[in-house]
Amino acid sequence: MTSRPHRYRALAQALAEDLRAGRFPAGSRLPSVRQLCETHRASLATVTHALHELEDAGLIEARARQGFFARATPAPGPLPTGGVALALEARRERLMALAASRPDWLSLGHLALPPALLPLAALRRLTTQALQQDAALLGQGSVAGSEALRGQIARRAPRMGCAFAPEDLVVVQGESEALQLCLQLVARPGDVVAVASPAPLRALELMACLGLEVLEIPPQGGRQRWPAALARALRTRRVAACVIESGAGRVDGAGLDDADHQALAALLARHALPLIECDMMGELYRGAYRPRPLKAFDADDRVLYCGSFACTAGPGLGLGYVASRRYGLRLRAARAVQGELLPALADRVLARFMAGEGYERHLRRLRKQLALQLRAYEQAVLRHFPAGTRLQVGEVGYALWVELPAGLDALALLARAREQGYSFVPGAVFSTGTAFDHCLRLSARHPLDEAHRRGIEVLGALACTLASTVACVNTAVAAPCGPRRAGRERKLATVRGSETAGC
Amino acid sequence: MTSRPHRYRALAQALAEDLRAGRFPAGSRLPSVRQLCETHRASLATVTHALHELEDAGLIEARARQGFFARATPAPGPLPTGGVALALEARRERLMALAASRPDWLSLGHLALPPALLPLAALRRLTTQALQQDAALLGQGSVAGSEALRGQIARRAPRMGCAFAPEDLVVVQGESEALQLCLQLVARPGDVVAVASPAPLRALELMACLGLEVLEIPPQGGRQRWPAALARALRTRRVAACVIESGAGRVDGAGLDDADHQALAALLARHALPLIECDMMGELYRGAYRPRPLKAFDADDRVLYCGSFACTAGPGLGLGYVASRRYGLRLRAARAVQGELLPALADRVLARFMAGEGYERHLRRLRKQLALQLRAYEQAVLRHFPAGTRLQVGEVGYALWVELPAGLDALALLARAREQGYSFVPGAVFSTGTAFDHCLRLSARHPLDEAHRRGIEVLGALACTLASTVACVNTAVAAPCGPRRAGRERKLATVRGSETAGC
């Protein structure tokens, strides 16, 4: 998000290493702030901030009017200090910073829909009506959603090949809470959770916080499908649970088909393995029918299916839900203790909206509009990005997964894009490793107006510059870079799937 | 954390569910171990282990040379016991069940305010106005709250002796999210967190989920104050962070005073120890002024102060916030990744409500009404509960902390109360140990109408019956139990503080 934290953090880490290595013995005075500024070519603010970090971590202590002193016993502490913890911490904070945008940047990667695409008139009418009928709605809340809302969710389930009973549904505040409640139920700190990679930063971050070990299982392309890769992993690792984005909704478009779903469901049943399926974009399909999620194949009831309305009805009614007969009661009990009451007004408005014809009409319009926008972005990316770029979009949603040609670093691209006032979501945040450092996620949430077209053009030009630099460094002959030629040579793989988190 | 458990645990769980669902009727023989191995593709060791778990849990019994048989009465609890992890799990689930109520019970312990006490007319007017002015509010959200709302929160801070800059504030979805974001920031899985005991189940449960070790530090009554007890603990334990309910808002009323606050703030500064202070009820004071939280003494900025509007404006606007200069940026970054967007409509309505005079007028009325109700409940408890009962209420809020006479088990009382259609929150859920098993929390959220008065009467009578039973068992001479006599002999300690969670 900001560039500053990294600077001070890096400095804090360097100083922590010095302390640990005994370069400042216990009780000795550290160099003055001014000296540190000079030595490390850092600003006063950076040095002060870094020193406070070390103080927080118990590594040094401040003495009034004397400066900072190395502490005798590095106290353990929350913010730690060198080594693995700090490295991990630093990486996590770096990823969070990478995933963020700033109001003065034009974000080309985030997924929150603009108000223009949301059914505002209908929602306003329903809200006003509900308040007229029952002002007490503003003062009421429920633990797991009203019967009316759960009934509406259940009513729509057959459209995706599922059968939910209202009592198997737990309404939650959104995707984040859904994922958290499910993870807490099926895994304990220290457990290994298998995750379909690339995975949303939100999920990875949450698992880190819950003390879970993430086992990323990447898509194996045509050679080996995901269920087979999971089966192989299960032979050697003790896995407590799995997390996948719904087959059709994978960020990289490389989703699961019905055969995969069947194989995966059988595998889960065989191992009595719970799986959390996040399906945030399922309603935003482009084909004739809504693709079926894994849950539709889950005869053994091992799948905790998580849905959300944030991407269809907007953040104002951003409720979500979890569907699971096996875990429903326990989810509800956990929510009763840990969750906030769900606002009755949003619940009522959403239930009424879903009960009428307006919801389906809105979805039809939204699907059509997003499909148009997505196509425009696809074409713009193809036109402007360097040769060898690979582009994937899923069967659902409006995200574009861009793989830069080998050797290109999306993080370097991001740094340059930000200088010019643009941001996107780098592939690096979808993994705990570096497998997707050459990837980026773009979003077609906005119509491709002049500003956004210009943004894609700038990204493409920057990527071309990077490509030619890489080519020079490699002293290889790169394909000449430029809109026209690049456009002809590029591969396009329009696969199913697109990223769902951060919506 | 656990080594083997997953495979056998999953199998045990599946079998337990089969038993519960009646697929193996009571008295019937289970499939042979060999058959189970085949059906579940599990090893002999896994199946045997799973069966022993079920046997431990009382769900099945082994008969020599005959195999395993379903038992007549399946033991309660979703998960079979056996092993520490499962025992803890079972305990946690049991506590959650104990904390819950049912719609057909009259809850005498929960804190959610009834609509009649909430400012519904004002909120409705503001909501309608906001929607008329800007329907797009329904489609917008923010990561950390609008500037307007943060400005209003900051504007009120001096009333409690604090100075918050709007940029140090992060608005969140409620107390639960506030606590979670803070804990994730200051502690890692495996860390020890010191908690002022009794502590809300919500916090204990969250810490268990995050893999944190809870170090409960009980109130030491008059002899040793909490800061001293914490200081002692710090000498022997590595503590990553602390969690307290705000001094005035402790569930048992045994809160901290200004001297404690000063001592505690100094201790935190000395150890560079972060502390999460939850102050949900602070606005609902009964004295002339709002009591100052620890944050007011926190010159070193070690305290992450968590506030909420759920107890004053209701669940419809149930937003909360965290105030911390030191951690503000990092909290916001974490929320950007993990949190849901905060609905702009609720944000706008709350900010407008706080900006006008209506908010203060509402608070004045609410404080007065709750004080009246609390007094009525106090008198009813004193009248009906057995001699030796100790009653505490805090300086703020509307909870009553009832300590039954020694030897009386509040869980036994709860079981009997539920049979008669009443529930309360047992003290057992406020600890990971058994220190508060003789306590209960009641709530004065409702006026003491006929139904509620009858409820207190029934609880009191049941407690008296329990007391006489205990007395008989002990063959000691108990003070005769009954409304009049008991009323005269009871101790009353009206201390500061009352429980804030579950609001």
The per-residue DSSP string of A233-292 comes to HHHHS---EEEEE-GGG-TTS----HHHHHHHHHHHHHHT--EEEEESSTT-B-SSSPPP
The number of C-beta contacts closer than 8 angstroms across A and B is: 250
The closest CB to that of B206, out of A121, A338, A346, belongs to: A338
Ramachandran assignment for B407, one of left (phi > 0), alpha (psi -120 to 50 degrees), beta (any other): left
For residue A495, the 8-state DSSP code is: -
Contacts of A96 in chain B (CB under 8 A): 333-334, 336-337
Q: How confident is the model at residue A337 (pLDDT cuts 50, 70, 90)?
A: confident
Percent of all residues in chain B with a pLDDT value above 90, rounded to a whole number: 52
pLDDT (0 to 100) of residue B361 = 96
Rounded-to-integer distance, Cα A503 and Cα A447, Å: 17
Q: Could you tell me the two tokens for A62?
A: 């401040």
Query: Are B485 and B479 spatial neighbours (Cβ–Cβ below 8 Å)?
Result: yes
Nearest CA in chain B to A75: B238
Crossing angle of helices B83-99 and B201-209, rounded to 10°: 150
Q: How confident is the model at residue B172 (pLDDT cuts 50, 70, 90)?
A: very high
Picking from B93, B107, B206, B209 by the largest number of A CB atoms within 10 A of its own CB, the best residue to mutate is B209
**A480 pLDDT exceeds 60?**
no
Q: How confident is the model at residue B9 (pLDDT cuts 50, 70, 90)?
A: confident
How many other CB atoms are found less than 10 A from the CB of residue B106? 18
Tell me the per-residue pLDDT of A151-198, one tens digit each, with 9 for 90 and over.
999 999 999 999 999 999 999 999 999 999 999 999 998 899 999 988
Contact A78 B188 (CB under 8 A): yes
3-state helix, strand, coil in chain A (%, to 5): 50, 15, 35
Q: How confident is the model at residue B43 (pLDDT cuts 50, 70, 90)?
A: confident
pLDDT (0 to 100) of residue B472 = 58
Helices (H), A160-239: 175-186, 201-209, 226-236
Q: Which helix (H) or strand (E) holds B308?
A: strand B303-308
Q: Which residues contact B359 (CB under 8 A, 6 or more apart)?
A: B119, B353
pLDDT (0 to 100) of residue B498 = 29
More confident position, A407 or B322: B322
Contact B124 A115 (CB under 8 A): no
Structure-token match 């495979």, residue found: B7
How is chain A split into domains, by residue range? Answer: 4-95, 105-114+366-492, 141-341
Contact B1 A188 (CB under 8 A): yes
Picking from A95, A338, A500 by the largest number of B CB atoms within 10 A of its own CB, the best residue to mutate is A338
The closest CB to that of B120, out of A135, A329, A339, belongs to: A135
Please state which CATH class domain B118-360 belongs to: alpha beta
Rg (CA), chain B: 25
pLDDT (0 to 100) of residue B256 = 83
pLDDT (0 to 100) of residue B484 = 36
How many other CB atoms are found less than 10 A from the CB of residue A387? 19
Percent of all residues in chain A with a pLDDT value above 70, rounded to a whole number: 83
Q: Where does B140-180 show beta strands of DSSP type E?
A: 141-142, 169-172
Query: Are B190 and B176 spatial neighbours (Cβ–Cβ below 8 Å)?
Result: no
Nearest CA in chain B to A114: B139
**A430 pLDDT exceeds 50?**
yes
Strand B422-423 versus strand B106-107 pairing type: parallel
Tell me the per-residue pLDDT of B376-413, one tens digit each, with 9 for 90 and over.
999 999 999 999 999 988 889 999 999 999 889 998 99
The secondary structure of B409-458 as a DSSP string is -HHHHHHHHHHTTEE-EEGGGG-SSSTTTTEEEEE--S---HHHHHHHHH
Tell me the per-residue pLDDT of B426-469, one tens digit each, with 9 for 90 and over.
998 898 888 888 999 999 999 999 999 999 999 999 999 998 88
Structure-token match 């990005």, residue found: A385
pLDDT (0 to 100) of residue A6 = 56
Residue B70, Cα to own-chain centre: how many angstroms?
37
Q: Could you tell me the two tokens for B163?
A: 């100075």
Q: Which residues contact A42 (CB under 8 A, 6 or more apart)?
A: A7, A8, A11, A36, A50
More confident position, B162 or B486: B162
Contacts of B127 in chain A (CB under 8 A): 127, 131, 138
The 3-state DSSP class for residue A115 equals helix
Instruction: Look over chain A and give the mean of its residue pLDDT values, rounded to a whole number.
Output: 83
Structure-token match 């003495």, residue found: A63
Q: How confident is the model at residue B249 (pLDDT cuts 50, 70, 90)?
A: low
Rg (CA), chain A: 25
Domain at A105-114+366-492: CATH architecture:
Alpha-Beta Complex (3.90)
Alpha-carbon gap: A478 to the closest alpha carbon of chain B (Å): 37
Picking from A7, A120, A138 by the largest number of B CB atoms within 10 A of its own CB, the best residue to mutate is A138
Q: How confident is the model at residue A128 (pLDDT cuts 50, 70, 90)?
A: very high
Q: Which helix (H) or strand (E) holds A154?
A: helix A147-156
Rounded-to-integer distance, Cα B207 and Cα A209, Å: 11
Contact A140 B202 (CB under 8 A): no
β-bridge partners, A194: A215, A242
Q: Could you tell me the two tokens for B66?
A: 């005959």
Largest Cα–Cα distance in chain A?
74
Rounded-to-integer distance, Cα B352 and Cα B333, Å: 26
The 3-state DSSP class for residue B354 equals helix
The 3-state DSSP class for residue A372 equals helix
Burial track A469-493 (b if 16+ CB lie within 10 A, e otherwise): ebbeeeeeebeebeeeebbeebeee
**A343 pLDDT exceeds 80?**
yes
Residue type present at position A80:
P
pLDDT (0 to 100) of residue B14 = 82
pLDDT (0 to 100) of residue A125 = 95
pLDDT (0 to 100) of residue B333 = 86
The closest CB to that of A77, out of B137, B272, B317, belongs to: B272
Contact A137 B2 (CB under 8 A): no
**A489 pLDDT exceeds 50?**
no
For residue B211, the 8-state DSSP code is: T
Q: How confident is the model at residue A39 (pLDDT cuts 50, 70, 90)?
A: confident
Instruction: Look over chain B and give the mean of its residue pLDDT values, rounded to a whole number.
Output: 83
Rounded-to-integer distance, Cα A436 and Cα A450, Å: 29
Q: Which helix (H) or strand (E) holds B8?
A: helix B6-20
β-bridge partners, B320: B172, B308
Contact B138 A128 (CB under 8 A): no
More confident position, B319 or B474: B319
Domain B95-115+364-489: assigned CATH number: 3.90.1150.10
Q: Which helix (H) or strand (E) holds A336?
A: helix A328-338
pTM: 0.78
Q: Which helix (H) or strand (E) holds A305?
A: strand A303-308
pLDDT (0 to 100) of residue A473 = 52
ipTM: 0.77
**A450 pLDDT exceeds 50?**
yes
Least confident stretch, A341-350, B107-116, B248-257: B248-257
Domain B6-86: assigned CATH number: 1.10.10.10
Nearest CA in chain B to A79: B186
Nearest CA in chain B to A180: B209
Nearest CA in chain B to A111: B341
Q: Could you tell me the two tokens for B206?
A: 């969250």
Alpha-carbon gap: B270 to the closest alpha carbon of chain A (Å): 9
Contact A115 B85 (CB under 8 A): no
Alpha-carbon gap: B155 to the closest alpha carbon of chain A (Å): 25
Rounded-to-integer distance, Cα A117 and Cα A96, Å: 27
Alpha-carbon gap: A453 to the closest alpha carbon of chain B (Å): 24
**A497 pLDDT exceeds 50?**
no
Q: Is the peptide bond before B198 cis (omega within 30 degrees of 0)?
A: yes
The closest CB to that of B344, out of A113, A316, A330, belongs to: A316
pLDDT (0 to 100) of residue A107 = 93
Residue type present at position B368:
K
The 3-state DSSP class for residue B139 equals helix
Half-sphere exposure of B218 (CA within 13 A, CB side): 11
Alpha-carbon gap: B247 to the closest alpha carbon of chain A (Å): 22
Rounded-to-integer distance, Cα A251 and Cα A398, Å: 10
Tell me the per-residue pLDDT of A353-384, one tens digit each, with 9 for 90 and over.
999 999 999 999 999 999 999 999 999 999 99
Domain A4-95: assigned CATH number: 1.10.10.10
Tell me the per-residue pLDDT of A203-237, one tens digit each, with 9 for 90 and over.
998 998 999 999 998 876 555 688 888 999 999 99
Structure-token match 């509620």, residue found: B452
The closest CB to that of A205, out of B202, B240, B338, belongs to: B338
Picking from B242, B338, B345, B425 by the largest number of A CB atoms within 10 A of its own CB, the best residue to mutate is B338
Q: Which residues contact B419 (CB under 8 A, 6 or more apart)?
A: none
Picking from B167, B170, B340, B445 by the largest number of A CB atoms within 10 A of its own CB, the best residue to mutate is B340
Least confident stretch, A72-76, A204-208, A447-451, B37-41: A72-76
Rounded-to-integer distance, Cα B258 and Cα B414, Å: 36
Give yes or no on whether B95-115+364-489 and B118-360 have one common fold.
no
Alpha-carbon gap: B470 to the closest alpha carbon of chain A (Å): 32
Alpha-carbon gap: A252 to the closest alpha carbon of chain B (Å): 19
pLDDT (0 to 100) of residue B407 = 81
Q: Which residues contact A332 (CB under 8 A, 6 or more apart)?
A: A143, A144, A170
Tell me the per-residue pLDDT of B115-139, one tens digit each, with 9 for 90 and over.
999 999 999 999 999 999 998 999 8
Q: Could you tell me the two tokens for B312?
A: 């004053």
Contacts of B120 in chain A (CB under 8 A): 135-136, 138-139
The domain A141-341 is classified under which CATH number: 2.40.50.100, 1.20.1260.10, 3.40.640.10, 3.40.50.720?
3.40.640.10
Residue type present at position B454:
R
pLDDT (0 to 100) of residue A4 = 37
pLDDT (0 to 100) of residue A242 = 96
Query: Are B106 and B452 spatial neighbours (Cβ–Cβ below 8 Å)?
Result: yes
Contacts of B103 in chain A (CB under 8 A): none
3 state SS for A17-72: HHHHCCCCCCCCECCCHHHHHHHHCCCHHHHHHHHHHHHHCCCEEEECCCEEEECC
Q: How confident is the model at residue B84 (pLDDT cuts 50, 70, 90)?
A: very low
Measured CA distances, A300 to A262, A323, A404, A441 (Å):
11, 14, 41, 35
